[in-house]
Structure formats: C-alpha cells, structure tokens
Amino acid sequence: MTFEEYVKIYEKKAEPYTLEPGYTLYFDENHGFITYKKMQDTLLVDHCCSINDLPWMIKKAQEIAKEQGCIYLATQTCRSARAYIRRGAPSVMKEWHLDLSLSGYRKNGKFYWCFIVKI
C-alpha cells in the first residue's frame, strides 16, 4: 500500500493526519507507518497505522528506540486501552504499563491512553 492509502485508513479511524513538529516519519509499504520523537530517554510514538499489525509497529518502534539510545518506549491510543493491549499480543505487551501522567486529552479533544515500557 502507499503512504496515502495508510493515511486514509488512519484518518477514518482516528483523526486528520499531520506530521507534528519535531516528529520523524517511518514508513514501510508492507506494514504501515509510525511517527515518533525522542524525548530525553524515551521514544514517544504518536500517529501510527497498519493493517491489523500492532505487534509489527511495536517491534519496529522498539528497534528505532534502541537506535536512538532510548531506555523507554511510549505509545498511545485513543481507542480502547484494553483492546490495544489485547491486539498488541501478550508476548509483546506483557511488560507495558499504563502511564496516567502521560495520558490525557490532546488538541483534537480526544482522550489518549499512554503506555510505556523499559526496553
């Protein structure tokens, strides 16, 4: 799929896509896209989309975090926190923790659950 096709899927399920200042885009036509930025010792994943391949997104984000010298990886979702963990596959998400201090309402008015893991 093209990047534009993934963006259409993302926008249908979440919000309008914008590459926010300070974020970097990683795209793989066979899997999807991830936008991220390094915040001190944490890689924060923001917008991301794939076709039912959350484990790929998490593993790729972990690779990028290690390359960036990060100790932690943080991801977020505006969808069900329970479904996010279940879809992430227990083998991938079992060490993750819900971080309420990073969770909250964003500019679009939606609430985002933030999960963090030491990598």
CATH of residue 21: 3.40.630.30
Domain range for residue 30?
3-118
Range 54-70 average pLDDT: 90
Range 88-102 average pLDDT: 72
Domain count, the chain: 1
The answer, yes or no, to whether residue 92 has pLDDT greater than 60, is: no
The three-state secondary structure class of 42 is strand
